[in-house]
Structure formats: structure tokens, C-alpha cells
Amino acid sequence: MTEKGAIFSQNVKKVAFDGEHQKRMMDRYEFFLRVADDCARHYANIKLEKNRAFNIRNKAFKYYDKYLVDFETNVNNNGGKVRWARDAEEAKYMIYNILENEKSKNIVKTKSVLAEEIGLMPYLEMKKMDVTETDTGDFICYQFNERPSDPNHPAAHKTKQDIAEVYSEKFCVSDDLNARQLMTVTRKVLKDKYLSADAAITGADFFVADTGDVVISEDEGNVLKSISNTKVHIVLIGIDKLIPTIDDISVLLPLSSLYEVTNIRVKSYYTILGKPQKGQKLYIVLVDNNRSNMLSREKQRTIMTCIECGACHSVCPVFNTIGGHVYDNAFPGPVGVVRSIADGYEESAHFATLCGSCRQCEEFCPMNIKISDLVLRNRMEIAREDGSLLGEKRVFNFIMKRVENRKDMDKTKDFLNKLEMKQLLKKSWGIHREIPKFAEKSFSELYLSIQSEN
């Protein structure tokens, strides 16, 4: 196991037995199921719509080299500028360089999973930039110096009292404010930031090849507030968010908010950016950061059709046991488990265990992604390529070779019971669970004894 994997295992043990954390996660899970129960009835044929959405995204990946060039051409014609970043370091430097050249002093940043992925906020702070998170959940996490626990509900792991106490310390307010009062404090703090900002950094849901448009959806209106008064707008987006035509959003946007836990059937605000506002400069930073690696994998690239609705990790029993922070990446839950393979076999080996193949994620996925099959594919590749698993391979090969023969297995069942099951599994399975015991007699022995009696 790698050092990262060992740290991961320790973190899992801490969280998995935290009773208070488990209660919060289960409450969240049950609430999601109640909301999701009637979502599909808003479609005459939800399966057909899911297939249409998948085909739109998959088509884009087949021709994405052409579509990317079309998009850049259309953005340039519309008056914007496109920048290409191969990895996280290049993307961060590129954004910093734009802000420096534009002499931007006060910066607001809206929700962006990609920004979390590349570590943009810490980087800009290191560069002495004044940057403020404007999404309510992300803003709360930032007060705790934590990253979001999951992209859709960043502060779900915090109680109202936790938030009230940190607000009391940071903003000199009472430590017993209710939820409405805490929101009032948040709005007041952010209002001045909106008005004084001279640059805004946003994410985006999709970008459109045939028009050069960027599509942003949100619930709070913080994107609109952030970009309204700024002289510079930087859109940070991964190359996997490409769609061929503007008509495609009529299928994708409703599905992306299909399971909104706020009971909103579609998100409250849509922003479709074509041309920059008058007096504003628009920069679009397209980031690869291993996405082309994932897209080159014929078996696993369907995971990139994900529209980040959050359904998979909302129902995932593993995610609801260990929470989002343990995953230590911007894509916690089943999608992150599959996508981690692009970072290399050693980096993803510990993530590949985080699936029980219950297939609940597939039941709710609006894109019909066969997530469990993709996790299994990852496991097969890791087992074949990762040298750190060689010892485990030998153990299981030894066991499987002997149990292929019924007589050999019956002869050595005491050995299996006392040595292999107890010694080999004691440190992994047996820490919190009882080691399985073999019966005194095997099924074949019982069968033969019954036959002899008759």
C-alpha cells in the first residue's frame, strides 16, 4: 500500500465509527430518497431521456478534437479569449497571470469543482491575492479552512451550532444564531465583496461548440452577482464539459437538477454567456488535467459523461459511511472512484475498494452510466499492473488453486481455518469483525453421510 493509501485507511477508520457523523449522513440519505421518489414522474419516458442525454455527451467525446477547435473559433469571434491548460499547475499560473496583467485586486470566486481539483484558492492566497468564495456552502467551509465535503452540498457535514460558533469568532456575532440569521450574516459579508470586486472566477456546466457559449446554472444567484460589476470574468472549465450544439442543453440542464433536494424541478438561474458584457473582458480557461487520458480509455471514458447531479454519492452506502473528505479529491463518491484511474494505478488503488457493487448509483444516474462495471474495470487493471498488490495476488492464487479440488480442500480445511482465515485476514477483516469459521463438516461430507444412512 502506498503512503497515500495508508493515510486514507487511517482516515476511514476515524470517520466510519463516528456515531454523530453517521447520523447526519443517514438523515441526508433518507431525505434524498424522499425527494427523489417522485422525480421521474415529471418525464413521460425517463429512460428515453437518459439515453438521449448519454448519446449527446458521448457524441461530443468522439469528435471532441474538432468541437474544441470550433468552440475556440466561435469564442474569438464573439470577443472572448480562450486559454489552454494542460495540467493543474499550468491552469493556476494562467489564471494568476491574467489577474496580474489586468491588475485585479479584489476577486470573487463562485462554486467550481475544477477549482477545488486544481487547488486554485490556496494557490492564489499564496500569491497574496484577495479572493472570496461566494457560494454559501463553500463560503462556510472556507471559514473552517476545509474543502467542501461534496460538490453539491459542501457544508453538509457541519451542524448549525458548528457554523454559529465559527461565525461568532470570525464576524463578531452571537454564537446562538438560528439558520435564517446565519444566512443574513453570510449575505451581509458577501454583499460588500460583490460590489467591490474587479474580477470574477466562475466554473461552468457546459460549453457549446457551435455557438461559443458557456452555460452556467445555479440556485443562489451568486454567479450573476459576481460577474455583474467586474471588469474581468474568468471561466474555468474542463474539456470534458463540451457539448455539440446549444439545443442540447434542453435535455441536459433539466436532468442535471433532476434530484435537487430543494424540491426545485430546475435550477433557479441559468446564465448563457455568449459575448462579454460591455466593458468586461472574458477569458475562458480550458483545462485538461488528465481528462484526455480518461477519454482515451475506451472502457472507462463513459464516466466523463457525468453531469455532476450528485445522485450517485447521495445514495452510495460507502460515501454515506465515510463522507466526502476521506476521498481527498474534488470528485468524492462513485464518480471519483472511477476517475481516479487517470492519476495512475498506485494513486488509485485504495479508491478501487470503495464500491460494494450494490448498483444504487446506476439506478439513480440520469446519464445511465454503468458505474459499478467501471469500478470493476479499474480493479482489474490495477490488479494486473500494480506491483504493490503482488503479495495479495500470490495469497489468493494459492487459495484458489487448492480449493479447485474438492478432495484437497476437505483434507486441508483445518489448516485453512486456523492459519489462512485467522492469520491472513486478521489485520484487515478481523479488526472489527469476527473471522468466519468453517463448519465441522463440509457440504460434501454431510451429503455423503446422509446418503450412506439412506
For 205, the grid coordinates are 456546466
3-state DSSP of 267-305: CCEEEEECCCCCCCEEEEEEECCCHHHHHCCCCCHHHHH
pLDDT in tens, 192-251: 888 889 999 999 999 999 999 999 988 777 888 889 889 999 999 999 999 999 999 999
Query: Which has more confidence, 16 or 296?
Result: 296
In whole angstroms, give the CA distance from residue 96 to residue 80.
18
Q: Identify which of 45-49, 51-55, 81-85, 127-131 has the greatest average pLDDT.
A: 81-85
Tell me the three-class secondary structure of the chain, residue by residue: CCHHHHHHHHHHHHHHCCHHHHHHHHHHHHHHHHHHCCCHHHCCCHHHHHHHHHHHHHHHHHCHHHHHHHHHHHHHHHCCEEEEECCHHHHHHHHHHHHHHCCCCEEEECCCHHHHHHCHHHHHHHCCCEEEECCHHHHHHHHCCCCCCCCCCCCCCCCHHHHHHHHHHHHCCCCCCCHHHHHHHHHHHHHHHHHHCCEEEECCCEEECCCCCEEEEECCCHHHHHHHCCCEEEEEEEHHHEECCHHHHHHHHHHHCCCCCCCCCCCCEEEEECCCCCCCEEEEEEECCCHHHHHCCCCCHHHHHCCCCCHHHHHCCCHHHHCCHHHCCCCCCHHHHHHHHHHCHHHHCCHHHCCCCCCHHHHHCCCCCCHHHHHHHHHHHHHHHCHHHHHHHHHHHHHHHHHCCHHHHHHCHHHHHHHHHHHHHCCCCCCCCCCCCCCCCCHHHHHHHHHHHC
In the predicted model, is pLDDT for residue 142 greater than 60? Answer: yes
Which amino acid is located at 400 in the chain? M
Q: How many Cβ atoms from other residues are within 10 Å of residue 417's Cβ?
A: 15
pLDDT value of position 341: 85
The Cα 85–Cα 341 span in angstroms is 20
Residue 152 pLDDT more than 70? yes
Q: Note the pLDDT of residue 302.
A: 92
Please say if the pLDDT value at position 318 is more than 80.
yes
Average pLDDT for the chain: 85
Band the pLDDT of 262: cuts 50, 70, 90: low
User: Would the pLDDT of 441 be above 80?
Assistant: no
Q: With contact defined as beta carbons under 8 Å apart, do 80 and 74 qualify?
A: no
| Nearest CA-CA partner of 15 in 310, 330, 320, 313 | 320
Count the residues in the chain: 454
Q: What residue has cell string 465441522? A: 440
Q: Is residue 240 a contact partner of residue 217, using CB atoms and an 8 Å limit? A: no
What digits encode the pLDDT tens for the residues 153-203?
888 888 899 999 999 999 999 999 999 999 999 999 998 888 889 999 999
Pairing assessment for the beta strands 214-218 and 206-208 based on DSSP bridges: antiparallel
Output the pLDDT for position 125: 92
Asked whether the beta carbons of 83 and 287 are under 8 A apart, the reply is: no
Q: How far is CA 447 from CA 207, 402, 406, 437, 454, in A?
A: 65, 21, 13, 20, 11
| Contact partners, residue 12, CB within 8 Å, separation at least 6 | 322, 326
